[in-house]
Protein backbone atom coordinates (compact mmCIF):
# COMPACT_ATOMS: atom_id res chain seq x y z
CA UNK A 1 0.00 0.00 0.00
CA UNK A 2 1.32 3.47 -0.91
CA UNK A 3 2.31 6.05 1.70
CA UNK A 4 -0.43 8.44 0.48
CA UNK A 5 -3.15 5.81 0.89
CA UNK A 6 -1.98 4.96 4.38
CA UNK A 7 -2.13 8.67 5.31
CA UNK A 8 -5.78 8.95 4.34
CA UNK A 9 -6.68 5.78 6.21
CA UNK A 10 -4.83 7.01 9.29
CA UNK A 11 -6.82 10.25 9.14
CA UNK A 12 -10.14 8.43 9.04
CA UNK A 13 -9.07 6.19 11.90
CA UNK A 14 -8.11 9.20 14.03
CA UNK A 15 -11.52 10.79 13.45
CA UNK A 16 -13.21 7.57 14.40
CA UNK A 17 -11.28 7.47 17.62
CA UNK A 18 -12.38 10.98 18.51
CA UNK A 19 -16.00 10.11 17.85
CA UNK A 20 -15.80 6.85 19.79
CA UNK A 21 -18.07 7.05 22.86
CA UNK A 22 -20.01 10.04 21.59
CA UNK A 23 -22.57 8.02 19.73
CA UNK A 24 -22.46 4.52 18.32
CA UNK A 25 -24.13 5.13 14.91
CA UNK A 26 -21.44 7.52 13.61
CA UNK A 27 -18.76 4.92 14.40
CA UNK A 28 -20.58 2.23 12.51
CA UNK A 29 -21.09 4.63 9.68
CA UNK A 30 -17.33 4.88 9.28
CA UNK A 31 -16.74 1.13 8.88
CA UNK A 32 -17.99 0.78 5.32
CA UNK A 33 -16.15 3.86 3.87
CA UNK A 34 -12.95 2.77 5.63
CA UNK A 35 -13.21 -0.73 4.22
CA UNK A 36 -13.84 0.59 0.75
CA UNK A 37 -10.88 2.95 1.04
CA UNK A 38 -8.50 0.18 2.06
CA UNK A 39 -9.60 -2.04 -0.79
CA UNK A 40 -9.08 0.76 -3.29
CA UNK A 41 -5.46 1.46 -2.28
CA UNK A 42 -2.87 -0.03 -4.65
CA UNK A 43 -1.13 -3.11 -3.14
CA UNK A 44 2.70 -3.10 -3.01
CA UNK A 45 4.52 -6.25 -4.13
CA UNK A 46 7.98 -7.66 -3.19
CA UNK A 47 10.78 -6.96 -5.73
CA UNK A 48 11.26 -9.77 -8.24
CA UNK A 49 14.03 -12.22 -7.18
CA UNK A 50 17.44 -11.66 -8.78
CA UNK A 51 18.39 -14.25 -11.36
CA UNK A 52 20.65 -16.95 -9.86
CA UNK A 53 24.30 -16.38 -10.65
CA UNK A 54 25.97 -19.09 -12.61
CA UNK A 55 28.79 -20.83 -10.74
CA UNK A 56 32.17 -19.41 -11.83
CA UNK A 57 33.97 -21.62 -14.31
CA UNK A 58 37.39 -22.77 -13.12
CA UNK A 59 39.79 -24.10 -15.73
CA UNK A 60 43.19 -25.62 -15.00
CA UNK A 61 45.70 -27.80 -16.80
CA UNK A 62 47.91 -30.68 -15.72
CA UNK A 63 50.92 -31.61 -17.87
CA UNK A 64 53.05 -34.66 -17.11
CA UNK A 65 56.12 -36.23 -18.67
CA UNK A 66 58.23 -39.33 -18.02
CA UNK A 67 61.96 -39.85 -18.31
CA UNK A 68 64.81 -37.43 -18.87
CA UNK A 69 63.79 -33.91 -19.83
CA UNK A 70 67.21 -32.73 -20.97
CA UNK A 71 66.74 -33.43 -24.66
CA UNK A 72 63.09 -32.40 -24.88
CA UNK A 73 62.50 -29.89 -22.07
CA UNK A 74 62.91 -26.66 -24.10
CA UNK A 75 60.36 -27.82 -26.72
CA UNK A 76 58.04 -29.45 -24.19
CA UNK A 77 57.85 -26.34 -22.03
CA UNK A 78 57.33 -24.18 -25.10
CA UNK A 79 54.37 -26.36 -26.03
CA UNK A 80 53.03 -26.36 -22.46
CA UNK A 81 53.11 -22.62 -22.19
CA UNK A 82 51.41 -22.13 -25.54
CA UNK A 83 48.60 -24.59 -24.86
CA UNK A 84 48.16 -24.55 -21.11
CA UNK A 85 48.04 -20.89 -20.08
CA UNK A 86 51.41 -21.25 -18.42
CA UNK A 87 52.42 -20.76 -15.66
CA UNK A 88 49.38 -19.81 -13.57
CA UNK A 89 47.08 -22.38 -15.13
CA UNK A 90 49.28 -25.44 -15.43
CA UNK A 91 50.63 -27.99 -12.96
CA UNK A 92 53.76 -29.71 -14.29
CA UNK A 93 54.59 -33.24 -13.08
CA UNK A 94 57.35 -35.73 -13.90
CA UNK A 95 58.02 -39.38 -13.12
CA UNK A 96 61.14 -41.48 -13.72
CA UNK A 97 63.62 -38.67 -14.30
CA UNK A 98 66.38 -41.27 -14.85
CA UNK A 99 69.14 -38.67 -14.99
CA UNK A 100 71.68 -41.50 -15.21
CA UNK A 101 70.43 -42.33 -18.72
CA UNK A 102 71.51 -38.96 -20.06
CA UNK A 103 75.29 -38.55 -20.47
CA UNK A 104 75.09 -34.82 -19.79
CA UNK A 105 73.23 -35.22 -16.50
CA UNK A 106 75.23 -38.28 -15.50
CA UNK A 107 78.51 -36.37 -15.79
CA UNK A 108 77.32 -34.11 -12.96
CA UNK A 109 75.35 -36.72 -10.99
CA UNK A 110 71.92 -35.35 -11.86
CA UNK A 111 72.54 -31.62 -11.36
CA UNK A 112 71.57 -30.70 -14.96
CA UNK A 113 68.27 -32.56 -14.54
CA UNK A 114 67.56 -30.58 -11.38
CA UNK A 115 68.24 -27.34 -13.24
CA UNK A 116 65.89 -28.27 -16.09
CA UNK A 117 63.14 -29.34 -13.67
CA UNK A 118 63.40 -25.98 -11.95
CA UNK A 119 63.31 -23.99 -15.18
CA UNK A 120 60.23 -25.97 -16.24
CA UNK A 121 58.46 -25.19 -12.92
CA UNK A 122 57.91 -28.89 -12.20
CA UNK A 123 55.88 -29.12 -8.97
CA UNK A 124 56.21 -32.82 -8.13
CA UNK A 125 58.06 -35.93 -9.22
CA UNK A 126 58.00 -39.61 -8.38
CA UNK A 127 61.47 -41.23 -8.25
CA UNK A 128 62.28 -44.77 -9.28
CA UNK A 129 65.32 -47.03 -8.82
CA UNK A 130 67.30 -45.33 -11.60
CA UNK A 131 66.88 -42.01 -9.83
CA UNK A 132 69.02 -43.41 -7.01
CA UNK A 133 71.95 -44.37 -9.24
CA UNK A 134 73.91 -41.40 -7.91
CA UNK A 135 73.02 -42.27 -4.33
CA UNK A 136 70.59 -40.85 -1.80
CA UNK A 137 72.50 -37.55 -1.33
CA UNK A 138 72.13 -36.85 -5.06
CA UNK A 139 68.37 -37.51 -4.84
CA UNK A 140 68.16 -35.03 -1.96
CA UNK A 141 70.09 -32.52 -4.06
CA UNK A 142 67.76 -33.15 -7.02
CA UNK A 143 64.78 -32.32 -4.84
CA UNK A 144 66.37 -29.29 -3.21
CA UNK A 145 67.77 -27.74 -6.39
CA UNK A 146 64.71 -28.42 -8.55
CA UNK A 147 62.16 -27.26 -5.99
CA UNK A 148 59.96 -30.23 -6.92
CA UNK A 149 58.23 -32.24 -4.23
CA UNK A 150 58.93 -35.98 -4.01
CA UNK A 151 55.71 -38.00 -3.63
CA UNK A 152 55.93 -41.63 -2.45
CA UNK A 153 52.61 -43.36 -1.79
CA UNK A 154 53.61 -47.02 -1.55
CA UNK A 155 57.16 -46.65 -0.25
CA UNK A 156 58.35 -46.32 3.32
CA UNK A 157 61.76 -44.77 3.78
CA UNK A 158 64.39 -45.51 6.42
CA UNK A 159 66.86 -42.81 5.39
CA UNK A 160 68.78 -40.75 7.92
CA UNK A 161 67.93 -37.93 7.76
CA UNK A 162 64.59 -38.87 6.19
CA UNK A 163 63.48 -37.46 2.87
CA UNK A 164 60.09 -36.74 4.38
CA UNK A 165 58.29 -37.43 1.11
CA UNK A 166 54.49 -37.29 1.59
CA UNK A 167 52.16 -40.05 0.40
CA UNK A 168 50.21 -37.46 -1.61
CA UNK A 169 50.18 -33.74 -2.29
CA UNK A 170 47.46 -31.24 -3.24
CA UNK A 171 48.24 -28.27 -5.47
CA UNK A 172 45.89 -25.46 -6.45
CA UNK A 173 45.80 -23.96 -9.91
CA UNK A 174 43.20 -21.30 -10.74
CA UNK A 175 40.95 -22.44 -7.93
CA UNK A 176 41.16 -26.11 -8.92
CA UNK A 177 42.63 -28.42 -6.28
CA UNK A 178 44.72 -31.16 -7.90
CA UNK A 179 45.74 -34.18 -5.83
CA UNK A 180 48.92 -36.03 -6.83
CA UNK A 181 49.68 -39.62 -5.82
CA UNK A 182 53.06 -41.26 -6.50
CA UNK A 183 53.47 -44.98 -7.14
CA UNK A 184 57.16 -45.91 -7.06
CA UNK A 185 59.00 -49.16 -7.78
CA UNK A 186 61.59 -48.49 -5.09
CA UNK A 187 62.28 -51.48 -2.82
CA UNK A 188 64.77 -52.50 -0.14
CA UNK A 189 67.19 -53.33 -2.96
CA UNK A 190 67.47 -49.59 -3.58
CA UNK A 191 68.80 -48.72 -0.16
CA UNK A 192 66.81 -47.06 2.60
CA UNK A 193 63.38 -47.90 1.24
CA UNK A 194 60.69 -50.49 1.75
CA UNK A 195 57.84 -51.28 -0.64
CA UNK A 196 54.39 -51.32 0.96
CA UNK A 197 51.46 -53.44 -0.30
CA UNK A 198 50.25 -51.39 -3.25
CA UNK A 199 46.52 -52.11 -3.03
CA UNK A 200 46.16 -51.01 0.58
CA UNK A 201 48.40 -47.98 0.14
CA UNK A 202 46.54 -46.83 -2.96
CA UNK A 203 43.06 -47.38 -1.55
CA UNK A 204 43.77 -45.38 1.60
CA UNK A 205 45.53 -42.58 -0.25
CA UNK A 206 42.96 -42.29 -3.05
CA UNK A 207 40.13 -42.01 -0.52
CA UNK A 208 41.86 -39.32 1.55
CA UNK A 209 43.11 -37.36 -1.48
CA UNK A 210 39.71 -37.40 -3.21
CA UNK A 211 38.22 -35.68 -0.15
CA UNK A 212 40.73 -32.82 -0.42
CA UNK A 213 41.01 -32.38 -4.19
CA UNK A 214 38.77 -31.77 -7.18
CA UNK A 215 40.98 -33.93 -9.43
CA UNK A 216 43.22 -36.91 -8.62
CA UNK A 217 46.32 -37.73 -10.70
CA UNK A 218 48.46 -40.84 -10.16
CA UNK A 219 52.08 -40.78 -11.32
CA UNK A 220 53.66 -44.20 -11.78
CA UNK A 221 57.40 -44.82 -11.78
CA UNK A 222 57.84 -47.64 -14.29
CA UNK A 223 55.08 -49.80 -15.74
CA UNK A 224 51.44 -49.35 -14.77
CA UNK A 225 50.51 -53.03 -15.17
CA UNK A 226 49.65 -53.60 -11.50
CA UNK A 227 47.97 -50.21 -11.16
CA UNK A 228 45.79 -51.01 -14.16
CA UNK A 229 44.65 -54.29 -12.58
CA UNK A 230 43.83 -52.54 -9.32
CA UNK A 231 41.80 -49.87 -11.12
CA UNK A 232 39.88 -52.57 -12.96
CA UNK A 233 39.13 -54.27 -9.64
CA UNK A 234 38.17 -51.02 -7.86
CA UNK A 235 35.87 -49.14 -10.20
CA UNK A 236 34.81 -46.93 -7.27
CA UNK A 237 38.25 -45.35 -6.86
CA UNK A 238 38.06 -41.67 -7.77
CA UNK A 239 41.10 -41.38 -10.02
CA UNK A 240 41.04 -39.12 -13.08
CA UNK A 241 44.45 -39.57 -14.73
CA UNK A 242 47.28 -42.11 -14.50
CA UNK A 243 50.62 -41.28 -16.13
CA UNK A 244 53.22 -44.06 -16.41
CA UNK A 245 56.36 -44.89 -18.35
CA UNK A 246 55.93 -46.62 -21.72
CA UNK A 247 56.15 -50.40 -21.33
CA UNK A 248 55.73 -53.25 -23.78
CA UNK A 249 52.15 -54.45 -23.90
CA UNK A 250 50.71 -51.43 -22.08
CA UNK A 251 48.14 -49.37 -23.96
CA UNK A 252 46.60 -45.97 -23.43
CA UNK A 253 42.92 -45.87 -22.63
CA UNK A 254 40.24 -45.53 -20.01
CA UNK A 255 40.11 -47.79 -16.96
CA UNK A 256 37.03 -47.11 -14.85
CA UNK A 257 36.96 -43.36 -14.25
CA UNK A 258 40.67 -42.94 -15.02
CA UNK A 259 42.47 -42.22 -18.26
CA UNK A 260 45.77 -44.12 -18.46
CA UNK A 261 48.50 -42.51 -20.61
CA UNK A 262 52.13 -43.47 -21.35
CA UNK A 263 54.05 -40.48 -22.75
CA UNK A 264 57.20 -41.51 -24.63
CA UNK A 265 60.15 -39.13 -25.16
CA UNK A 266 58.97 -36.10 -27.12
CA UNK A 267 55.42 -36.43 -25.79
CA UNK A 268 53.57 -35.35 -22.69
CA UNK A 269 50.23 -36.10 -21.08
CA UNK A 270 47.76 -33.22 -20.93
CA UNK A 271 44.67 -33.01 -18.73
CA UNK A 272 42.27 -30.07 -19.07
CA UNK A 273 39.95 -29.58 -16.10
CA UNK A 274 36.83 -27.41 -16.24
CA UNK A 275 34.71 -27.03 -13.13
CA UNK A 276 31.49 -25.03 -13.23
CA UNK A 277 27.89 -26.02 -13.74
CA UNK A 278 29.30 -29.33 -14.94
CA UNK A 279 32.60 -31.12 -14.34
CA UNK A 280 34.49 -31.63 -17.58
CA UNK A 281 37.84 -33.40 -18.00
CA UNK A 282 39.77 -34.02 -21.20
CA UNK A 283 43.01 -36.04 -21.23
CA UNK A 284 45.26 -36.81 -24.16
CA UNK A 285 48.82 -37.41 -25.28
CA UNK A 286 50.44 -34.47 -27.03
CA UNK A 287 53.33 -34.98 -29.42
CA UNK A 288 55.78 -32.11 -29.68
CA UNK A 289 57.22 -31.83 -33.21
CA UNK A 290 60.96 -31.39 -33.59
CA UNK A 291 60.23 -28.07 -35.31
CA UNK A 292 58.66 -26.60 -32.15
CA UNK A 293 60.58 -23.47 -31.10
CA UNK A 294 62.50 -23.92 -27.87
CA UNK A 295 61.52 -21.95 -24.79
CA UNK A 296 64.44 -19.49 -24.33
CA UNK A 297 64.82 -19.75 -20.54
CA UNK A 298 64.87 -23.54 -20.50
CA UNK A 299 67.14 -23.73 -23.54
CA UNK A 300 69.58 -21.36 -21.85
CA UNK A 301 69.69 -23.58 -18.77
CA UNK A 302 70.45 -26.62 -20.92
CA UNK A 303 73.08 -24.83 -22.99
CA UNK A 304 74.89 -23.67 -19.85
CA UNK A 305 75.26 -27.29 -18.76
CA UNK A 306 76.36 -28.36 -22.24
CA UNK A 307 79.16 -25.80 -22.06
CA UNK A 308 80.21 -27.08 -18.66
CA UNK A 309 80.08 -30.65 -19.93
CA UNK A 310 82.37 -29.85 -22.82
CA UNK A 311 84.96 -28.42 -20.44
CA UNK A 312 84.49 -31.38 -18.08
CA UNK A 313 84.92 -33.97 -20.84
CA UNK A 314 88.15 -32.39 -22.03
CA UNK A 315 89.92 -32.79 -18.68
CA UNK A 316 92.84 -35.24 -18.87
CA UNK A 317 92.72 -38.01 -16.25
CA UNK A 318 95.71 -40.06 -17.37
CA UNK A 319 98.25 -40.89 -20.04
CA UNK A 320 98.38 -44.40 -21.51
CA UNK A 321 101.24 -45.89 -23.47
CA UNK A 322 100.61 -47.55 -26.81
CA UNK A 323 97.20 -48.48 -28.23
CA UNK A 324 95.35 -50.79 -25.82
CA UNK A 325 92.88 -53.29 -27.28
CA UNK A 326 89.54 -54.30 -25.76
CA UNK A 327 91.12 -57.00 -23.61
CA UNK A 328 93.74 -54.70 -22.11
CA UNK A 329 91.09 -52.05 -21.50
CA UNK A 330 88.75 -54.55 -19.81
CA UNK A 331 91.59 -55.75 -17.58
CA UNK A 332 92.41 -52.14 -16.63
CA UNK A 333 88.76 -51.56 -15.68
CA UNK A 334 88.73 -54.76 -13.59
CA UNK A 335 91.84 -53.45 -11.82
CA UNK A 336 90.09 -50.14 -11.18
CA UNK A 337 87.10 -52.01 -9.73
CA UNK A 338 89.40 -53.90 -7.37
CA UNK A 339 90.48 -50.52 -5.97
CA UNK A 340 86.92 -49.83 -4.73
CA UNK A 341 86.98 -49.72 -0.90
CA UNK A 342 86.49 -53.14 0.76
CA UNK A 343 86.87 -55.02 -2.56
CA UNK A 344 89.31 -57.93 -2.84
CA UNK A 345 88.88 -58.52 -6.58
CA UNK A 346 87.48 -56.85 -9.69
CA UNK A 347 85.54 -58.30 -12.63
CA UNK A 348 84.63 -56.77 -15.98
CA UNK A 349 83.69 -58.10 -19.42
CA UNK A 350 85.26 -56.88 -22.65
CA UNK A 351 82.01 -57.15 -24.61
CA UNK A 352 80.57 -54.38 -22.45
CA UNK A 353 83.05 -51.89 -23.90
CA UNK A 354 81.95 -49.66 -26.77
CA UNK A 355 85.59 -48.86 -27.57
CA UNK A 356 89.01 -49.48 -26.03
CA UNK A 357 90.72 -46.83 -23.97
CA UNK A 358 92.82 -44.59 -26.24
CA UNK A 359 96.58 -44.31 -26.20
CA UNK A 360 98.16 -41.04 -25.12
CA UNK A 361 96.13 -38.54 -23.14
CA UNK A 362 92.90 -40.02 -21.80
CA UNK A 363 90.16 -37.52 -21.04
CA UNK A 364 86.97 -37.90 -19.04
CA UNK A 365 85.12 -37.89 -22.34
CA UNK A 366 87.20 -40.83 -23.62
CA UNK A 367 86.34 -42.87 -20.54
CA UNK A 368 82.62 -42.09 -20.73
CA UNK A 369 82.48 -42.89 -24.45
CA UNK A 370 84.30 -46.22 -24.00
CA UNK A 371 82.10 -47.54 -21.19
CA UNK A 372 78.56 -48.94 -21.59
CA UNK A 373 77.07 -46.16 -19.49
CA UNK A 374 76.85 -44.95 -15.93
CA UNK A 375 76.41 -48.38 -14.36
CA UNK A 376 76.41 -48.90 -10.63
CA UNK A 377 79.11 -50.93 -8.92
CA UNK A 378 78.04 -53.96 -6.86
CA UNK A 379 80.05 -55.67 -4.12
CA UNK A 380 79.41 -59.43 -4.20
CA UNK A 381 80.45 -61.98 -1.58
CA UNK A 382 81.95 -64.97 -3.43
CA UNK A 383 83.87 -68.07 -2.36
CA UNK A 384 87.44 -68.42 -3.66
CA UNK A 385 86.32 -71.44 -5.68
CA UNK A 386 83.95 -69.23 -7.69
CA UNK A 387 86.71 -66.74 -8.44
CA UNK A 388 88.98 -69.44 -9.80
CA UNK A 389 86.17 -70.73 -12.03
CA UNK A 390 85.40 -67.25 -13.35
CA UNK A 391 88.97 -67.02 -14.65
CA UNK A 392 88.12 -69.51 -17.37
CA UNK A 393 85.15 -67.46 -18.62
CA UNK A 394 86.01 -66.47 -22.20
CA UNK A 395 84.88 -62.86 -21.81
CA UNK A 396 85.63 -62.25 -18.12
CA UNK A 397 88.65 -60.24 -17.04
CA UNK A 398 89.54 -60.41 -13.36
CA UNK A 399 91.95 -58.56 -11.15
CA UNK A 400 92.69 -60.90 -8.26
CA UNK A 401 94.83 -60.96 -5.14
CA UNK A 402 98.15 -62.77 -5.38
CA UNK A 403 96.68 -65.91 -3.82
CA UNK A 404 93.10 -67.14 -3.87
CA UNK A 405 92.08 -69.80 -1.36
CA UNK A 406 89.29 -72.04 -2.72
CA UNK A 407 87.62 -72.14 0.70
CA UNK A 408 88.16 -68.44 1.36
CA UNK A 409 85.55 -65.67 1.12
CA UNK A 410 86.17 -62.62 -1.06
CA UNK A 411 84.41 -59.38 -1.96
CA UNK A 412 84.17 -59.02 -5.73
CA UNK A 413 83.53 -55.60 -7.24
CA UNK A 414 81.71 -55.68 -10.56
CA UNK A 415 78.91 -53.86 -12.36
CA UNK A 416 75.21 -54.37 -11.97
CA UNK A 417 74.91 -55.70 -15.52
CA UNK A 418 77.70 -58.25 -15.07
CA UNK A 419 76.14 -59.39 -11.80
CA UNK A 420 72.61 -59.77 -13.14
CA UNK A 421 73.11 -60.65 -16.80
CA UNK A 422 76.72 -61.12 -17.88
CA UNK A 423 77.62 -63.86 -15.43
CA UNK A 424 74.48 -64.28 -13.35
CA UNK A 425 75.64 -64.37 -9.75
CA UNK A 426 72.31 -64.39 -7.94
CA UNK A 427 72.89 -67.93 -6.74
CA UNK A 428 76.25 -66.94 -5.27
CA UNK A 429 75.04 -63.80 -3.45
CA UNK A 430 71.37 -62.87 -3.69
CA UNK A 431 71.87 -59.60 -1.83
CA UNK A 432 74.91 -57.75 -3.18
CA UNK A 433 75.94 -54.48 -1.60
CA UNK A 434 75.55 -51.35 -3.69
CA UNK A 435 78.90 -49.57 -3.51
CA UNK A 436 77.12 -46.26 -4.17
CA UNK A 437 79.56 -45.36 -6.96
CA UNK A 438 79.30 -45.33 -10.74
CA UNK A 439 81.64 -47.20 -13.07
CA UNK A 440 82.95 -44.13 -15.01
CA UNK A 441 83.83 -42.37 -11.76
CA UNK A 442 85.67 -45.46 -10.53
CA UNK A 443 87.72 -45.72 -13.72
CA UNK A 444 88.49 -41.99 -13.90
CA UNK A 445 89.49 -41.93 -10.25
CA UNK A 446 91.79 -44.91 -10.71
CA UNK A 447 93.46 -43.39 -13.78
CA UNK A 448 94.08 -40.13 -11.93
CA UNK A 449 95.54 -42.03 -8.97
CA UNK A 450 98.19 -43.61 -11.22
CA UNK A 451 99.78 -40.21 -11.73
CA UNK A 452 100.87 -41.04 -15.29
CA UNK A 453 102.44 -38.31 -17.40
CA UNK A 454 103.68 -37.96 -20.95
CA UNK A 455 107.17 -38.72 -19.67
CA UNK A 456 105.96 -41.72 -17.65
CA UNK A 457 102.79 -43.11 -19.27
CA UNK A 458 100.69 -45.90 -17.80
CA UNK A 459 101.42 -49.27 -19.38
CA UNK A 460 98.43 -51.53 -19.91
CA UNK A 461 99.13 -55.15 -20.88
CA UNK A 462 98.25 -55.81 -24.51
CA UNK A 463 97.17 -59.35 -23.64
CA UNK A 464 96.43 -59.68 -19.95
CA UNK A 465 97.35 -63.10 -18.63
CA UNK A 466 94.29 -65.07 -17.55
CA UNK A 467 94.73 -66.89 -14.25
CA UNK A 468 93.99 -70.59 -14.28
- Give pLDDT tens digits for 16-60: 444 444 444 444 444 444 444 444 555 545 566 655 555 678 899
Contact 162, 199 (CB under 8 A): no
State how far the Cα of 456 lies from the Cα of 451, in Å rounded to an integer: 9
pLDDT at 51: 55
pLDDT at 191: 78
| Mean pLDDT value across the chain | 86
pLDDT at 22: 42
CA-based radius of gyration for the chain: 37
- Give pLDDT tens digits for 444-453: 999 999 999 9
Q: pTM of the full predicted structure?
A: 0.79
Residue 346 has pLDDT above 50, yes or no: yes
Cα dihedral across residues 456, 458, 463, 465: positive or negative? positive
- Give pLDDT tens digits for 155-168: 998 888 888 999 99
Amino acid sequence: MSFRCWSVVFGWALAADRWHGCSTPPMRALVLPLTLLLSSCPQSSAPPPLPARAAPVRVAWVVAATGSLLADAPRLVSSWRAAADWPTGALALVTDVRAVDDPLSALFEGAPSASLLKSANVAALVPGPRDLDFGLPALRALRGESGAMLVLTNTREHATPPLGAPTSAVFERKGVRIGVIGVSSLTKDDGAFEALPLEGALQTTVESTAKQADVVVVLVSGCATVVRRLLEAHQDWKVDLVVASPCEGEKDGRVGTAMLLHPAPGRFASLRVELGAVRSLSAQLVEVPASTPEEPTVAAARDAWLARAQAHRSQVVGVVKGSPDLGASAFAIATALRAVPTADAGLFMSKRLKAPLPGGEVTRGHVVDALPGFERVFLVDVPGEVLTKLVSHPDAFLSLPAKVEPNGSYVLATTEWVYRTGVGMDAVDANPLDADVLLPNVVMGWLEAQGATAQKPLVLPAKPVKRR
